[in-house]
Structure formats: structure tokens, C-alpha cells
Amino acid sequence: MSFAVAEVSYWMALGYGFLAFFSPCVLPLIPAFLGVLFASKGDFLKIIGFFVGISSLFSVIGVLFGLFGNFIPTYILTWISGLALVVFGLFYLFDVELVKMKKNPNVWRYKGEGFLNGFLLGGSVGLVWIPCSSPILGSILAIVASGREPVKGGVLLFLYSLGISIPFILMGGFVNRLLNRVSFKKPVWMNVLKVVGSLSLVLVGVLILTGRFITY
């Protein structure tokens, strides 16, 4: 039995983005991000700019990795993608960050109103999530590269960015108040989410290696 990436990978990309939203190294920064984004109540253009900024960043990355896959032979790309997902799944399970943030970003420079400030804030938030969710992002990029289609790669990373930005847009005020009241020790539900996400990465990696996960 084979699993076609054409349908599954879209939902995976969205789900991985949601997992990335709860990356431990970013959770303490979320109140600041939300404070900047919602500093001006009713600033719809800033919210749109945030969405466009973070989506543009990841979509471009997706297109580039889709192009990159065309330069590697299929059998080599299959092994690279499969092994990458297995390794990244284990990294995610054991909280291994491939890239460390040296210092917290100064997002307050984008506290002004308007589309441009929202766009720059979205891009900055996306850059923060790259090192913090590196195992998750690396896994979805491995799938994108194996697909060898830049446009679909851009779509997958766009969906990944949706998984990150939707919690900001829909749960902004609530999440801001909640995260300001709780400690950042991992609750049980987050540990369960991490284990499930890690196992899904490893499973997809094994399916790719055994030829049961057909890219696109």
C-alpha cells in the first residue's frame, strides 16, 4: 500500500506549522510578538501585512527547495529525504535545535501601524521560527525537495506558515493573556503533542525509504 503525498503532504505541512507554533524556545517570546501585532486595535492592514510577511518568507524557501530537488538523482533524493525525516523526528523528540538563537529579536521596532510594519514583523517572526523549529521545518523541506516542483513547494511552505500564523490571528488576545499567566514548563498535553509529531515524522521517513510514500 502506497501513500500519495499529493493530498497528505498539504495537511502535513499545515499540521507541522501548528507544531512549530508550540516550539519551546519560542513560547516565551509569543506575548511580545502578540503585543506588537495587536498594539493598535483594529489595524486590519497590519494583520494582513503580518500574514503576507511570514507567508512570503516560507513560500520563497519552499520554491528554492523545490528547485534544488531537480539537481539530485531520484534514488539519492529518496534516501536523503527519508533519512532526514527519521533524524529530524528524533531531534524533535529530544528537543535538539539545529541552529541556536544567539539573542531575542527586537520586534518592538515594528510596533507602528500599517501594512509595512506588519509585513516586517511577519518576516521577523518567520526568521525566529526557522532555528526554533528546525527539525520540523527540515522535515517538510525534505518532502518539498523530493517533490521537485517549485510551485507546489511554495504552496506547502505557505501552508506551513498558515499553521504558524493562524494561532496568532485567531487566538491573539486569549493566547497573550494565557501565556502571561503560566510558566513555560512543558505541560502534559505538549509532551503528548511532541511525541505524536515526532513519531509521524519518523513514520513518513520510513515510508519514503521503503517506497510506500509517493511524492506528488
Strand partners, 214: 4
Mean pLDDT of the 141-165 span: 85
- Nearest residue to 165 via CA among 131, 126, 135, 111: 126
What SS3 string covers the chain?
CCEEHHHHHHHHHHHHHHHHHCCCCCHHHHHHHHHHHCCCCCCHHHHHHHHHHHHHHHHHHHHHHHHHHHHCCHHHHHHHHHHHHHHHHHHHHCCCCCCCCCCCCCHHHHCCCCHHHHHHHHHHHHHHHHHHCHHHHHHHHHHHHHHCCHHHHHHHHHHHHHHHHHHHHHHHHHHHHHHHHCCCCCCHHHHHHHHHHHHHHHHHHHHHHCCCEECC
pLDDT band at 133 (very low <50, low <70, confident <90, very high): confident
Look at residue 119 and tell me whether its pLDDT is greater than 70. yes
pLDDT tops 90 at residue 137: no
For the beta carbon of residue 63, count every other beta carbon within 10 angstroms.
Answer: 20
Confidence band (pLDDT; 50, 70, 90) for 97?
low
- Reported as a single tens digit per residue, the pLDDT across 29-79 is 677 777 777 776 667 888 888 889 999 999 999 899 888 888 888 778 778
Interatomic CA distance for residues 84 and 138, integer angstroms: 8
Minimal CA–CA distance to 133: which of 7, 214, 13? Answer: 13
pLDDT of residue 56: 93
pLDDT band with cut points at 50, 70 and 90 for residue 18: confident
Provide mean pLDDT across the span 94-115: 69
Give residue 158's pLDDT. Answer: 92
pLDDT score of 60: 92
- Render pLDDT for 158-185 as a digit per residue (tens, 0 to 9): 999 998 888 777 765 555 555 555 544 5
**pLDDT value at position 166?**
82
**pLDDT > 90 fraction of the chain, expressed in percent and rounded:** 6
